[in-house]
Amino acid sequence: MNIALIAHDSKKSLMIDFATAYQNILKNHELYATGTTGLRIMENTQLSVHRYQSGPLGGDQQIGAAVSQNEMDLVIFLRDPLAAMPHEPDVNALIRLCDVYNVPLATNIGTAEVLVRGLDAGLMNWRPNYEQGNFNKDILNNLANGQVK
């Protein structure tokens, strides 16, 4: 799976703690990140990360473009809800595109926990066969019954 890891400055140490704790899961996947987040993860773990531009310089938009191309399976975005960002429109656009394409998105560590462990448990095995935006009754029933669609 292709996984995007993004953290605003106040959440970067939490992202490193997360990446460190789940290194054994994350190392089995292709990791992508905005520039500084990716650098910090690589400096502090053994993980290899493809780095986009830094968030304020367009990295969120690059990840959004990957989402729109069905090239990102999971986005973990530890965003800071208490600080105003000069690139707030880019942040909102990325979140919006995840919703447009039904890409699993965590915007806080609680959800990130559930998603990364769900990933490891195979709960996202439907993603490679999934066409953008086409959840329907049959797919949902198959998933609910534990059948990968």
Binding stretches for ligand 13P (CB under 6 A): 6, 8, 34-37, 54-56, 59-60, 87, 91
Nearest distance in Å: CB 60, ligand 13P: 5
Residue closer to ligand 13P by CB (options 44, 130) is 44
Nearest distance in Å: CB 35, ligand 13P: 4
Q: Among the options 9, 17, 60, 73, which is catalytic?
A: 60
The answer to whether 104 and 124 have CB atoms below 8 angstroms apart is yes
Residue closer to ligand 13P by CB (options 59, 104) is 59
Instruction: Give the type of residue at 79.
Output: R
Q: How far apart are CA 11 and CA 37, in angstroms?
A: 10
99 is catalytic: no
Nearest distance in Å: CB 115, ligand 13P: 18
| Residue 2, both tokens | 């292709």
Residue 50 annotated as binding site: no
Q: How far apart are CA 31 and CA 87, in angstroms?
A: 23
Residue 55 annotated as binding site: yes
Residue closer to ligand 13P by CB (options 92, 142) is 92
Integer CA distances (angstroms), 86 to 61, 134, 144, in order = 14, 34, 41
Q: How far apart are CA 31 and CA 82, in angstroms?
A: 27
Q: How far apart are CA 58 and CA 30, in angstroms?
A: 20
- Residue ranges for the known binding site are 8, 12, 34-37, 54-55, 87
Residues of each annotated binding site for substrate: 8, 12, 34-37, 54-55, 87
Active-site amino acid positions: 60
